[in-house]
Structure 1
Amino acid sequence: MLTESSVVGKRFTTNREIHSLEKLLKQNQFKNVGELHKEWTEAGVKASRATTHQRIKEFGYSCCIPLVKPLLNHRQRQMHLSWTKEKNNWTVAQWSKVLFADKSKFFISFGNQCPRVRRKGGEAHSPSYLKSSVKFPQSVMIWGAMSSAGIGPQCFLQTTVTAPIYQDILEHFMLPSADQLFKDADFIFQQDLVTAHTAKSTKSWLNGHGVGVLDWPEISPDLNPIENLWGIVKRKMRNETKKCR
């Protein structure tokens, strides 16, 4: 609990009022400062918005973008738990034999997102302070594969991935990735459980080419390390876009 002596200067909110603010915050941590300030002052507390913000900072809370996790039902959570327990004792050498693969969408333009601009009154419509926007940001879908040895060639997708198209990707991008990263060594292929991947014709293709597939729980992109690679690339793209503005 914060005390009057914990902050330099005179405090105009009591410990009881501060406790009530923290209680409001814990009830819904997705509320913004304005919403919390409104509820707090409606309860009879006399404080400015700046004071509300300062008290929240003193609690140790920071305003962050929440991590996004797939919504799982009970059965799916149990499958994830069983899978992680089973793979918990895998060695680095075993994981090094896995070829992880997935596709991801990359935005070439970022819609209406832009940095703030400093301007004076009456300059809002000046061309120097305007930012062009696009209704439908340009994007491209890329399939890629990686292992502990590096990354393989990427495939730029221009259509919906059906089973035949996916098998073409496996032929011209997955197998070359495996040859590049594993040479003549054995490997295990990782893929998620979308329809094109689990189709009978795809399973037949994989069996026919002698490709072993890693068992994988459904709805589990957070388990795939290639998602970290996609995240790094997207952050670099955003940073480069900002430099060009």
Structure 2
Amino acid sequence: MGKKKDLSSAEKRDIVEYLGQGMKTLDISRKLKRDHRTIKRFVADSEHTRIRADKGTMRKVSARQIHRIKRAAVKMPLQSSKQVFETAGASGVPRTSRCRILQRLAVMHKPSIRLPLTNGHKQKRLQWAQKYMKTDFQTVLFTDECRANLDGPDGWSGVWLVDGHHVPTRLRRQQGGGGVMFWAGIMGRDLVGPFRVPEGVKMSSVKYVEFLTDHLLPWYKKKNHAFHSKIIFMHDNAPSHAARNTAASLAAMGIKEEKLMVWPPSSPDLNPIENLWSILKRNIYEGGRQFTSKQQLWEAILTSCKEIQAETLHKLTSSMDARIVKLLSNKGSINKM
């Protein structure tokens, strides 16, 4: 009597019929010449199916086609499973079978994101690196704006789920429930800000200058002459930053010429404050936290900023020399942040 062979459809129908006649499972096993344990297992769970030892090898796809499918997936990683199979000459395979085969051959990852750098951009990045490679970056004030949503970074969150436990629920609101825009800067071991951008304000050149006048200028005026002579102000090439009105207003504050860093295009990887945003958001949304109001979110941002250590800021600003070396070795290409 076979021990491990699955019951056929005909045998299953016979078992049901014999059970209806009042036969015992032992008598049924003898009549069908099957192991008694197999019959009892079917009776206990008629929906039971044995897990295949071959992990679902598709009999309709040959080993030669599998090799072609793997090669096509390597050449076209962004194509759909249907396009991969058609390229490999294995059209007509159902979607579930395609996905099962591809899961055996490869692991799915989210595509990495890169900025649209042209050769001109790369040349400007290299020129920037050569110009500032001997700069003392502890005297540079790196600034930027950041946005935080009520529901988390882009409303996304992941869950570790143990068997037998339910998936926890989260609020889902349009555009992440709204959020808070704020500005900050880092210089050496110091954090300047954060300062909240007023609700509904579009950051044009005029509004940006007003914002710096209200928040940056008071901080700047408190410093002594030696500080003023060394500081270099950095902001990126956002339209409100690069406008002539902004440059003229900064010059009136005393931030001009060599005190205003010329920033290369498409270069967030060179700004250490981008790493500060990552640290800040990781702290704010720890444990999948969400917020019910913008004021609550803003208070969490302020608290998290106070908890950031001076040594953490120093590590970020001290990383600029390594970023420049890597930029030069990559011939102007993007550095991984």
**1:220 is matched by which residue type in structure 2?**
S
Shift of residue 97, structure 1, vs aligned partner: 1.2
Shift of residue 230, structure 1, vs aligned partner: 1.0
Deviation by residue 1:52-77 (Cα, 9 ceiling, x = unmatched) = 313215xxxxx433343322333223
Q: SS in structure 1 opposite 2:151?
A: coil
Which residue of structure 1 lines up, in the alignment, with residue 70 of structure 2? 22
Separation (CA, whole Å) in 1 of partners of 2:169 and 2:98: 33
Separation (CA, whole Å) in 1 of partners of 2:119 and 2:235: 23
Aligned length: 221
Shift in CA distance, 54/182, structure 1 to aligned 2, threshold 3 Å:
farther
| Correspondence 1:135 to 2:198 | no
Shift of residue 176, structure 1, vs aligned partner: 5.2
Which residue of structure 2 lines up, in the alignment, with residue 205 of structure 1? 249
| Correspondence 1:149 to 2:189 | yes
| Correspondence 1:225 to 2:272 | yes
Q: SS in structure 2 opposite 1:96?
A: helix
Which residue of structure 2 lines up, in the alignment, with residue 106 of structure 1? 148
**Are 1:145 and 1:174, in contact at CA under 8 Å, matched by a contact in 2?**
no
Deviation by residue 1:15-51 (Cα, 9 ceiling, x = unmatched) = 754542332222222346x557755683589977444
Separation (CA, whole Å) in 1 of partners of 2:280 and 2:83: 36
Shift in CA distance, 28/242, structure 1 to aligned 2, threshold 3 Å:
farther
Shift of residue 168, structure 1, vs aligned partner: 2.6
1:68 maps to which of 113, 122, 139 = 113
Shift in CA distance, 28/149, structure 1 to aligned 2, threshold 3 Å:
same
Q: SS in structure 2 opposite 1:154?
A: strand
Separation (CA, whole Å) in 1 of partners of 2:179 and 2:186: 22
What are the equivalent positions in structure 2 for 1:87-126 lying under 5 Å apart? 87=132, 89-90=133-134, 94-110=136-152, 113=156
Q: SS in structure 2 opposite 1:153?
A: strand
Separation (CA, whole Å) in 1 of partners of 2:224 and 2:71: 55
Shift of residue 106, structure 1, vs aligned partner: 1.1
**1:237 is matched by which residue type in structure 2?**
I
**Are 1:69 and 1:222, in contact at CA under 8 Å, matched by a contact in 2?**
no
**Are 1:37 and 1:49, in contact at CA under 8 Å, matched by a contact in 2?**
no
% identical aligned pairs: 21
Shift of residue 183, structure 1, vs aligned partner: 9.2
- Compare the two structures and name the one with the higher helix fraction: 2
Which residue of structure 2 lines up, in the alignment, with residue 55 of structure 1? 105
Shift in CA distance, 95/129, structure 1 to aligned 2, threshold 3 Å:
closer
**2:104 is matched by which residue type in structure 1?**
Q
Shift of residue 160, structure 1, vs aligned partner: 0.8
**Are 2:150 and 2:290, in contact at CA under 8 Å, matched by a contact in 1?**
no
Which residue of structure 2 lines up, in the alignment, with residue 60 of structure 1? none
Separation (CA, whole Å) in 1 of partners of 2:173 and 2:239: 33
1:238 maps to which of 277, 285, 309 = 285
Separation (CA, whole Å) in 1 of partners of 2:219 and 2:64: 62
TM-score by length of 1: 0.69
**Are 2:149 and 2:155, in contact at CA under 8 Å, matched by a contact in 1?**
no
Unaligned stretches of 5+ residues in structure 1: 1-8, 58-62, 121-127
Q: Comparing 169-178 with 45-54, which one deviates more in the overlay?
A: 45-54
**Are 1:99 and 1:189, in contact at CA under 8 Å, matched by a contact in 2?**
yes
**1:133 is matched by which residue type in structure 2?**
R
Deviation by residue 1:201-220 (Cα, 9 ceiling, x = unmatched) = 32222222222111111232
Q: CA RMSD in A?
A: 4.0
